[in-house]
């Protein structure tokens, strides 16, 4: 029997602001859409936190036995510099600044995004559609909205009529904003004068002579509004009504609010049953954002090439760090916090690796059945990874007691214990067993540490030539040394 039939999963629904029992549209199947990156720059760790959480949601749904269609889009056109439908498309702007084609920008940062997710052990989504690959469908949806009388064209641009929609709909149902508070900006901005009301948002924008990315449409040569692509792609691949829509909390308004209005106008039904939003990641107690320069890139953590951390950390440690906080909570990233997570991660993986050395006893002194139920109860409570991790450390404690011959597990319990612990640590949380890659890894680390000590002695003896030779030869082998406050660390490139 599939595990989902014996587990009652509850999800915090941002729409109703309550935890609700999960009931998929179709028995045994889950349709999930998550807003992906706008590929005009590298994704920072705050962006990746959202994708990492939904990777765990995806993994747990698969673990429960659901057939999951996970759609995560790539925004490669139409995302303007602000939500007032003003400014330049971010990708076009980057292309203009770097004097390259917009699709070169898209390719560069899409490849980087995929590299990051691969390094951090993400499962790929079922479908990863792009905005530019669905221009025809977006034009067709605009026509449908116009036919229903809820959009209008002015000077080649098309806008959604929020006030008219609100006569029968509820623009603000997700964010809780009242219509009079939904005015993005009261200043006169480029394109604002075309709108009937400041609340209205663009479905299609006419491209000016400077705009590089443009497509023909019945209204003008232009490009689609940012909000439109997600309505088009989610309903195309998941249907007019699907189970889960996820994203960062910053997307709740206006992006997701606009999605609801667009999709409901076309289908006449509520498009999504469960809306899920992750909270922000701080860096040293300040909001992580590129606009302020307070951010760190995921691959900078792996290499140690940054000004924030005392050394390099593994991707698995970063995953573990992220899962120690509830996804709806603000999480503060710092060197101290990551070092603490590294210690906890090491204890967990060491205990898991010791499992294969444990021999079954005649009786069990630990209730595997209760522990197992507690693990599932944590994940069934809105994917409560911090509570799950606390139960995993109960398992670590038991393993250590077995080491000391102070506890035992029967053969059946030991088999169940091993299967469950490995499933939650590796299949669900997506942690990586770096220490199980073989003794060669440990031997390499030992050799490098020995050379670091030799280099340290050479520097103390002012033998700079030997110090530099050790550093340079290691670098030629792909091993980079980094001198920091806590000493010298290394990373393998």
Classify residue 149: in a domain, yes or no. Answer: yes
**Residue-level pLDDT at 19:** 98
Whether 196 and 235 share a structural domain: yes
Residue 74: per-residue pLDDT: 98
- 20 and 51, same domain (yes or no): yes
CATH number assigned to the domain comprising residue 385? 1.10.730
For residue 460, count other CB atoms closer than 10 A to its CB.
9
Asked whether the beta carbons of 57 and 9 are under 8 A apart, the reply is no
129/60 same-domain check: yes
Which residue in this structure is represented by tokens 């959009």? 151
d(C-alpha 341, C-alpha 333), whole Å: 11
Give the model confidence (pLDDT) of 338-396 as tens digits: 999 999 999 999 999 999 899 999 999 999 999 999 999 999 999 999 999 999 999 99
Answer yes or no: do 109 and 7 share one domain: yes
Asked whether residue 293 is domain-assigned, the answer is: no
68: its two tokens: 């999951």
Give the per-residue pLDDT at 443: 65
Domain contains 457: yes
- 412 in the same domain as 429: yes
| pLDDT on residue 259 | 98
User: Are 374 and 478 in the same domain?
Assistant: no
pLDDT per residue, tens digit, the chain (493 aa), is 799 999 999 999 999 999 999 999 999 999 999 999 999 999 999 999 999 999 999 999 999 999 999 999 999 987 876 666 777 788 988 998 898 999 999 999 999 999 999 999 999 999 999 999 999 999 999 999 999 999 999 999 999 999 999 999 999 999 999 887 655 433 344 445 789 999 999 999 999 888 889 999 999 999 999 999 999 999 999 999 999 999 999 999 999 999 999 999 999 999 999 999 999 999 989 999 888 889 999 999 999 999 999 999 999 999 999 999 999 999 999 999 999 999 999 999 999 999 989 999 999 999 999 999 999 999 999 999 999 999 999 999 999 999 999 999 999 999 999 999 999 999 999 999 976 544 455 667 778 888 898 898 888 888 988 888 888 888 877 788 878 765 787 766 5
* pLDDT for 483: 81
User: Do residues 269 and 133 share a domain?
Assistant: yes
Is residue 199 located within the same domain as residue 261? yes
Tokens at residue 105, please? 């920008």
Residue 460: per-residue pLDDT:
84
Residue 187 confidence (pLDDT) = 38
Is the residue at 291 inside a domain? no
pLDDT the model gives residue 82: 67
With respect to residue 284, please indicate whether it lies within any of the assigned structural domains.
no
Number of domains in the chain: 3
Are residues 246 and 322 both part of a single domain?
no
Instruction: Domain of residue 454: give its range.
Output: 441-492
Q: Give the pTM.
A: 0.87
243 and 374, same domain (yes or no)? no
Are 419 and 471 found together in one domain?
Answer: no
Q: Using alpha carbons, list the distances in angstroms from residue 420 to 149, 410, 412.
A: 55, 15, 12
Residue found under tokens 């992220």: 322
């Amino acid at each position: 029997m599939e595990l989902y039939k014996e587990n009652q999963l509850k999800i915090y629904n941002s729409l109703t602001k309550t935890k609700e029992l999960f009931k998929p549209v179709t028995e045994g199947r889950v349709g999930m859409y998550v807003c992906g990156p706008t590929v005009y720059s590298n994704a920072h760790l705050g962006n990746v936190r959202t994708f990492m959480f939904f990777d765990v949601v995806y993994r747990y749904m698969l673990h429960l036995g659901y057939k999951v269609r996970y759609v995560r889009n790539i925004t490669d056109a139409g995302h303007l510099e602000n939500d007032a439908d003003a400014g330049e498309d971010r990708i076009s702007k980057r292309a203009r600044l770097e004097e390259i084609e917009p699709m070169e920008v898209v390719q560069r940062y899409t490849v980087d995004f995929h590299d990051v997710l691969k390094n951090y052990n993400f499962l790929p989504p079922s479908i990863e559609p792009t905005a530019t690959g669905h221009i025809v469908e977006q034009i067709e949806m605009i026509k449908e909205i116009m036919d229903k009388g809820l959009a209008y064209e002015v000077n080649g641009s098309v806008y959604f009529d929020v006030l008219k929609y609100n006569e029968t709909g509820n623009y603000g149902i997700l964010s809780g904003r009242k219509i009079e508070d939904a005015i993005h900006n009261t200043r006169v901005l480029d394109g604002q004068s075309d709108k009937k009301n400041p609340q209205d948002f663009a479905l299609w924008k006419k491209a000016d002579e400077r705009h590089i990315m443009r497509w023909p449409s019945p209204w003008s040569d232009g490009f689609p509004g940012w909000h439109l692509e997600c309505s088009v792609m989610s309903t195309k691949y998941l249907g007019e009504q699907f189970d889960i829509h996820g994203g960062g909390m910053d997307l709740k308004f206006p992006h997701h609010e606009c999605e609801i209005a667009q999709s409901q106008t076309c289908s006449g039904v509520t498009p999504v049953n469960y809306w899920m939003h992750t909270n922000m990641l701080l860096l040293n107690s300040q909001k992580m954002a590129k606009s302020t320069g307070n951010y760190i890139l995921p691959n900078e953590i792996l290499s140690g090439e940054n000004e924030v951390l005392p050394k390099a950390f593994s991707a698995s440690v970063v995953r573990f760090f992220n899962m120690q906080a509830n996804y709806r909570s603000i999480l503060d990233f710092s060197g101290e916090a990551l070092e603490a997570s590294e210690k906890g991660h090491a204890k967990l993986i060491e205990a898991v690796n010791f499992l294969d050395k444990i021999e079954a006893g005649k009786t069990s002194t630990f209730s595997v059945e209760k522990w197992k139920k507690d693990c599932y109860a944590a994940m069934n409570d809105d994917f409560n990874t911090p509570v799950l991790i606390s139960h995993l450390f109960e398992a670590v404690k038991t393993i250590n007691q077995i080491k000391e011959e102070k506890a035992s597990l029967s053969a059946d319990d030991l088999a169940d214990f091993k299967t469950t612990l490995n499933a939650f640590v590796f299949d669900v949380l997506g942690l990586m067993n770096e220490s199980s890659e073989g003794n060669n890894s440990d031997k390499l680390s030992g050799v490098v540490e020995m050379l670091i000590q030799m280099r340290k002695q050479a520097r103390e003896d002012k033998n700079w030539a030997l110090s530099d030779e050790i550093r340079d030869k290691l670098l030629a082998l792909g091993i980079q040394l980094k001198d920091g406050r806590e000493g010298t660390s290394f990373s393998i490139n």
